[in-house]
Structure 1
C-alpha cells in the first residue's frame, strides 16, 4: 500500500477527487485530510501494477490546471451561454409570431392526416 500527502495550499479538493477517480479502475483509493495536508492511500487491485507517486502527482498537476482554467474562464462561458440562449429566444419568438399569422384558423383532420407519399409521388 502506498501513502502520499499533498499540501492543501497547492492543490484543490476538486483536483484531488478527480485524480483519485481516474485511478479507480486500477486501485483502491482512500482519501483523508487535516488542516494542512490531503492524504492518499492506494492499494493495487489484483493483477494490476501499483500506481507510482510520480504518476499520481502528474495527474494531480493536470487536474489542478484544468480546475484553474475552469475558474478563469467561468465568466466567459456563462456570458456566451447567456447570449446564445437570449438570441435563440428572440429567434423563437419571431418564428412563433410569423407562423401564428400565417396559420389557418380552422384545422381539420384532412389537413393533419395527409399521406406524404400520395402527395409527393
Structure 2
C-alpha cells in the first residue's frame, strides 16, 4: 500500500476528496489527516491497474486548480445567473402586458379539408 502526504497549506480538503474520487474505480483509497498533512493510502483493486504516485499528485494539482477557479469565479457566475433570471422575468411580464387577444375565427375557416382546396 502506497502512502502519499500533502501539506494542508497547499491543498484543500475539497481537492483531496475529488482527486480520491476520480481513482475510486481503480483503487481502494484511505484518507487521513493530522495538523499539517493529509495522508492518502492507495491499495490497488484486484482487477485494477496500479495507480502511480505521480498520477495521484497530478490529479491533486488538477483538482486544486479547478477548486481555485471555482472560488475565484463564483461571484461572477452568481451575478450572471441572477441577471439572466431577472431579465427573463421582466421580459415575460412585458410580453403578457402587450399581448393581444386574437380575433375569434369560425370553425368553417379553420377546419378546411386540404385536399378540397379550390386552388388545386
Q: How does 1:29-48 map to 2 (within 5 A)?
A: 29-48=29-48
| Partner of residue 102, structure 1 | 101
Q: Cα–Cα, structure 1 residues 119 and 9, in superposed 2: closer, same or farther, change >3 Å? A: farther
Q: How far apart, CA to CA, are the structure 1 residues paired with 2:31 and 2:112? A: 67
> SS of the residue aligned with 1:48?
coil
| Partner of residue 76, structure 2 | 76
Query: TM-score with structure 1 length normalisation?
Result: 0.81
Count of residues in correspondence between the two structures: 110
Q: How far apart, CA to CA, are the structure 2 residues paired with 1:79 and 1:53? A: 40
Deviation (angstroms), 1:50 = 1.6
Q: How far apart, CA to CA, are the structure 1 residues paired with 2:50 and 2:113? A: 66
Q: How far apart, CA to CA, are the structure 2 residues paired with 1:77 and 1:120? A: 53
CA RMSD of aligned residues (A): 2.3
- Which structure 2 segments of 5+ residues have no match? 115-120
Q: How far apart, CA to CA, are the structure 1 residues paired with 2:113 and 2:98? A: 26
Q: Cα–Cα, structure 1 residues 97 and 43, in superposed 2: closer, same or farther, change >3 Å? A: same
Q: How far apart, CA to CA, are the structure 1 residues paired with 2:112 and 2:92? A: 29
Q: Cα–Cα, structure 1 residues 95 and 48, in superposed 2: closer, same or farther, change >3 Å? A: same
Q: How far apart, CA to CA, are the structure 1 residues paired with 2:62 and 2:35? A: 23
- Which structure 1 segments of 5+ residues have no match? 105-113
- Divergent runs of 4+, >3 A: 118-121
Which structure: larger Rg? 2
Q: Cα–Cα, structure 1 residues 119 and 46, in superposed 2: closer, same or farther, change >3 Å? A: farther
Query: TM-score with structure 2 length normalisation?
Result: 0.81
